[in-house]
Amino acid sequence: MFDLLQTSSRSRARLGRLNTTRGTIDTPVFMPVGTQASVKALDLRELNEIGTEILLGNTYHLFLRPGMDIIRKAGGLHTFMNWDKPILTDSGGFQVYSLAKIRSVRDDGVEFRSHLSGETLFLGPRESMAIQRELGSDIAMLFDECPPHGCSADELESAVKRTLDWAAICAEQPRAEGQFYFGIVQGANSPELRRRCAEELVAMDFDGYAVGGVSVGEPEPEMMHAVEITEPYLPENKARYAMGLGTPAQLVELVARGIDMFDCVLPTRVARNGTAYTTAGAINLRAGHQKEDFGPIEEGCDCFACTHYTRAYLRHLLKAGEILGLRMLSIHNSHFYMEVMRQIRSHLAAGTFDDFREEFIAKYQPTSKVLEGRANSKLHNGG
């Protein structure tokens, strides 16, 4: 399933290939977030043009709307959204904890009220995997409990225990044809709990593993530490996924820490606020000094936005409230993320990743805290 092709001599970075029934995914890879069976502001043609190999969908949101009856009648999620490449679906666990108006965690799952209708619903490991089976995703994430940042030691230990108990139940559930199951390692910044969770999940022999419970409000050093204390316990012959991350600089640093797969809503979310990513950092295209800048968002970028429009024109669209402006920024940002991953893979293949890492981080300027992570937990898979 996962082929490890090459490793860096100076870091934990890995070049790999994830083989699914719907196609091969070159890793490290970034997965655009299609929470509602759509990546915000981008159509399928644009996703293909920027080189998208896999999308992310969300169990919680699709379960609520359009609902499984519609998905079932459509013939599954791929057919419903007309996407023939791989899809990874989140389990819905994070959204239950972050979006549900009222929730009650039990040993068999979570009872909650829909944030859309107020209806009382239940989601547990059996229900989550059944929904993902009907969605027909190529990679289904196990149902887990994501403890909030700053929770007590008892709450954290209980969350890890439930995550492991639920993983054992998930493992017993039937799968869609060719579907992979990925376990999720919880444990916040506790080395002991991260080790325990990882080792017990690995003993269950899932198809891949994710580092969960990161970028849920903690400072960036804590997030990096959580990955660092988890990665040594993950098998080398399985894909590794950091959930809900991150900025371009974070992606480069996380690749250096041994992570293969990423997803984040930032490329399209910040685009809707007028922010564009460049190799020098994030820039605000609404700013007054962009008014007479008739160059592209970034020199040398071959995305549709940069090859057809100037900063001045895009600023005009944003200030005028024209949809084209946020669409073009969404295209550019998504292309930029894909290009960063392409460069990472190219340098890994050439054995020059660590030099690339140093140069990229030195050039990329830190931006506001809003862009440096998922400060609001609703960012995660919320588009």
Catalytic residue numbers?
A: 90, 263
Which residue is listed with tokens 């929470």? Answer: 35
CA torsion sign, 268 to 270 to 276 to 282? negative
Residue type, 162: R
Do you find a cis peptide bond into 174, omega within 30 degrees of 0? no
What kind and span of H or E run contains 56?
Answer: strand 55-58
Query: Residues 6 or more apart from 316 whose CB is under 8 A from it?
Result: 325
Which residue is listed with tokens 């709450």? Answer: 155
Do you find a cis peptide bond into 66, omega within 30 degrees of 0? yes
Instruction: Return the CA Rg of the chain.
Output: 20
Q: Percent helix, strand and coil across the chain, each rounded to 5?
A: 45, 20, 40
Q: If you ran DSSP here, which 8-state letter would residue 110 be given?
A: E
Residue type, 35: T
Two tokens, residue 241: 């996924």
What kind and span of H or E run contains 216?
Answer: none
CA torsion sign, 249 to 240 to 258 to 196? positive
Residue type, 7: T
Contact 178, 138 (CB under 8 A): yes
Q: If you ran DSSP here, which 8-state letter would residue 76 be given?
A: S
Report strand pairing: 239-242 vs 208-211: parallel
